[in-house]
Amino acid sequence: MNREPIPRLPVFGWQSFDGARASSTPCLLSLPGLHYSTSGRAAILLALETLGVGPGDTVLLPSYHCPTMVAPAANLGARVAFYPLDEHGTPQLHWLQQQDLTGVRVLLAAHFFGLPQPMARIRAWCNERRIALIEDCAHALFGRSGDRPIGTWGDVAIASLTKFLPVPEGGCLVVNRGLALPARVPALAACGLGPQLRAAMDIIEVGAVQGRLTGFNGLISGSLGLLRYLRSGGSRFVDTLGGTAEIPAPAAPLSSAERAIDSALAHRRLSAASRWLGRVMPRERIVARRRQHYERLARGLSGHTGLRPLRPHLPADCAPYVFPLWVDQPDPGYVDLRRRMPVFRWDRMWPEVPSLPGDHGRRWSHHVLQLACHQDMSDADIDNFVAALVDLYNL
């Protein structure tokens, strides 16, 4: 039975423990040098600190991004500079090598949408110039690039747990190439009892509200809802259930929250419930269902006017985060669609992004919609998603 609204992110339930524990597709959580963080944003901050980035250093970032990718460098006092992307989301290295790279310490390269980038070429380019590489796996907790697992190419790799697991918070970083975390980072502040309990409550409550804990849904959702009411609290995880938050206009200035980094939170230890799920949750179901949903979306959204799959063919050895859809005229329908369906776009760009020759990143920020395809959606969810998109955009 289809549930409304379609969950934006994975949902905890009995189904979360179906399938094989291991997957033939490599998972970043199995790599040595793994350290958990409270978010992907926190992981980027920790990665930059690991690499010793500070005032006077330059960090190269892709033109296609969300503010989360930029804020850590800016908050460390580093200069941020942006590079253009080709039609596959790969850094245009030929453009970069024509620039003055004085002061450049780090290049961040991302596996957009969970689809692997050709990291061997990027790694070699960085090695030649003694530039450190942060491999951004926020969209790619699983996968292989070339002959190596995702997360092993960068000096440091970062990832986000919330995009793949039913947790209210969580990220991680993998430290490679003989590097070590700064002395203060291993002593991450312990997560207090209150945050520990809230994290566990969020995980269970969302599962119950979505009807995924058969036999306990009513009891759990009612009792936890009452407890939150009595404490005048609210679930930080509620956006999993649908798009209730106000959507800022693309041209509106970035908010202080989008620009800022909570240093104390970034250096706090991840809750035990989120770490536990990262360790024990079966992985084969996550990979298989995401791939099935991506391919179902590709079939349903091909052959229409006004829209097209940006990457219709899913590479082997990966688990997609989202399905990227190019829409010729996304507005004004996008805002209404965003409120009803698990779809978003990266139109909140850092203000210093220039117009670069041959860059696909700025165009993607307006035309590319990222459609959820996570493991806790049903076939009916996917079909309803396709119908809504075709009805709105098939001009």
Cα–Cα distance for residue pair 296/292, rounded to 1 Å: 6
pLDDT at position 1, please? 37
Q: How far is CA 321 from CA 49, 71, 72, 110, in A?
A: 27, 22, 22, 12
Q: Give the total residue count for the chain.
A: 395
Q: What is the pLDDT of residues 68-101, one digit of tens each?
A: 999 999 999 999 999 999 999 999 999 999 999 9
34-37 and 58-62 strand pairing: unpaired
In a domain, 228, yes or no: no
Is residue 300 situated within a structural domain? yes
| b/e map 355-386, b = 16+ CB within 10 Å | ebeebbbbebbebbbbbbbbbbbeeebbebbb
- CATH number of the domain enclosing 375: 3.90.1150.10
Dihedral of CA atoms 117, 123, 129, 133 in degrees, nearest 10, equals 80
% the chain with pLDDT above 70: 90
Residues 46, 37: Cα–Cα separation, whole Å: 9
Residue 350 resides in a domain: yes
Alpha carbon distances (Å) from 28 to 35, 150, 152, 295 = 11, 7, 8, 23
8 and 341 in contact (C-beta within 8 Å)? no
What pLDDT is attached to residue 227? Answer: 61
**What is the structure's pLDDT at 195?**
77
DSSP state of 241: G
Instruction: Tell me, yes or no, whether 174 lies in a domain.
Output: no
Residue 73 lies in a domain: no
Query: Does some domain include residue 346?
Result: yes
List the domain range (segments joined by +) for residue 293.
284-393
Does some domain include residue 177?
A: no
pLDDT value, residue 184: 58
Count of domains for the chain: 1
Which amino acid, 245?
A
This prediction has a pTM of 0.93
- Other CB atoms within a 10 A radius of the CB of residue 276 amount to 13
Task: Show the tokens assigned to 310.
Answer: 């940006």
Indicate whether 154 belongs to any domain.
no
Predicted pLDDT at 235 = 46
Distance (Å, rounded) from C-alpha 109 to C-alpha 154? Answer: 9
Measured from the Cβ of residue 32, the count of other Cβ atoms closer than 10 Å reads 8
Cross-strand pairs, 326:
308, 368
User: In terms of DSSP bridges, do strands 132-137 and 79-83 run parallel, antiparallel, or are they unpaired?
Assistant: unpaired
Instruction: Report residues of the chain scoring pLDDT below 70.
Output: 1-4, 183-191, 224-246, 251, 395
